[in-house]
Structure 1
Amino acid sequence: MKLTNKLKTIALGLVMIFFQSCAVRYSFTGTNINYDEVSTFTVENFFNDSGGGPANIEQKFTEALKEYYQRNTQLELVRSNGDLQFMGAISRYTLTPQAAVSSGNANLPDRAGNMRLTISVDVEYINMTNEEENLKRSFSFFKDYDPRTSTFLDVEDELVEEIFTSIIQDIFTNTVANW
């Protein structure tokens, strides 16, 4: 029994030495960042160019993006001139009906069965160490809710948070995860 544990310890040690000596870096968060070359990131304040949304929507998005990269990478957030730089604007914030539902009464109009909140964010990503990875594109996501069971004001914060989470995951995947 003691010999088996000793062999396991030796095998684990050899595996750890192997991974430490590899030139390719892998993080269990799915990034492929070479921390020898890239150590900082900057997120400029995003703007709200959509004309809609809560008054502080741009601040919520900017802070959520910073927090996500801090949680999922070893990068240090700096005020300016980071090795990785993010900037952009919320370009779309729309609420649209998705499916008409009959009122069942000829005297009452039909109404929307579901409403859809769609948010798009234009992002410019600059990698100061590898300009081939630079990116400029729009990320968009939507969430539906049922106006018969709740008002938009009741669900807006939750919808925005869920949409931002999806958009930020897409940004992360397209920048440092490179999937």
Structure 2
Amino acid sequence: MTGSSTSAKTISIREFYNNTDLGPANMGQTFTNDLKNYFIQNSNLAVVVEEGELQLDGEITDFRISPIAPVSTGDPTQLTTASSTRLTITVKATYVNTLDETMSFKDKTFSFYKDFPNEQNITDVGEQYTKAIFERIINDLFNASVANW
């Protein structure tokens, strides 16, 4: 039993490029490797370098750190601060199913976020939270492509 519902035997996954301003330099390579590993572990598809029956490529388009949950100081002369921060990552993907074009999609966006308290510094938790966000996006991408969800 696998998580895929395709008759294809091969998939080619091209490098997802990091087109963000803030993201770590190796983020695209990390995402691509994690994506390939997920397909290997959760399907019977063989990952090939190019010309797979299924083809997947895309880019990481956003790596955003935003303040959330504002907390009023009660003093109108002081700035309002946030008690939490949100890390959001967005990936845009194109999927081609050469066996069934109706299953293909182009430039579909997948996004997820992780909230953390302001006491934590992004440099300390960024790698851990990026990994957690990637896991969710990869799962969503797998479901949208070969699991047909």
> How far is 1:108 from its partner?
5.4
In structure 2, the partner of 1:18 is none
1:33 corresponding residue in structure 2: 6
- Distance, in Å, in 2 between the alignment partners of 1:54 and 1:170 is 22
Q: Which amino acid aligns with 2:5?
A: N
- Relative to its length, the structure with more helix (as a share) is 1
Structure 2 residue runs of 5 or longer lacking an equivalent are none
Quick check: 1:131 aligned with 2:104?
no
Structure number with greater CO (CA < 8 Å, separation at least 6) is 2
AA matched with 1:75: L
Unaligned runs of 5+ in 1: 1-26
1:89 aligns with 59
Is 2:114–2:129's contact at 8 Å kept on the other side of the alignment?
Answer: yes
Aligned Cα RMSD in Å? 1.6
Alpha-carbon displacement from aligned partner over 1:25-75 (angstroms, at most 9, x marks no partner):
xx3x332122xxx11111101111122211100001100110000000111
**Is the radius of gyration larger for structure 1 or structure 2?**
1
Aligned residue pair count: 148
Give the stretch that moved more between structures: 108-117 or 84-93.
108-117
- Structure 2 counterpart of 1:142: 113
Q: Which residue of 2 aligns with 1:59?
A: 29
TM-score by length of 2: 0.92
Q: CA deviation at 1:178?
A: 0.7
Ranges of 4+ aligned residues in structure 1 off by more than 4 Å: 103-108
Percent pairwise identity: 37
Tell me if 1:177 matches 2:147: yes
CA apart distance, 1:176: 0.7
Q: 1 CA distance for matches of 2:74 and 2:123?
A: 26
TM-score (normalizing by structure 1): 0.78
Equivalent-residue separation in structure 2 for 1:147 and 1:167 (angstroms): 24
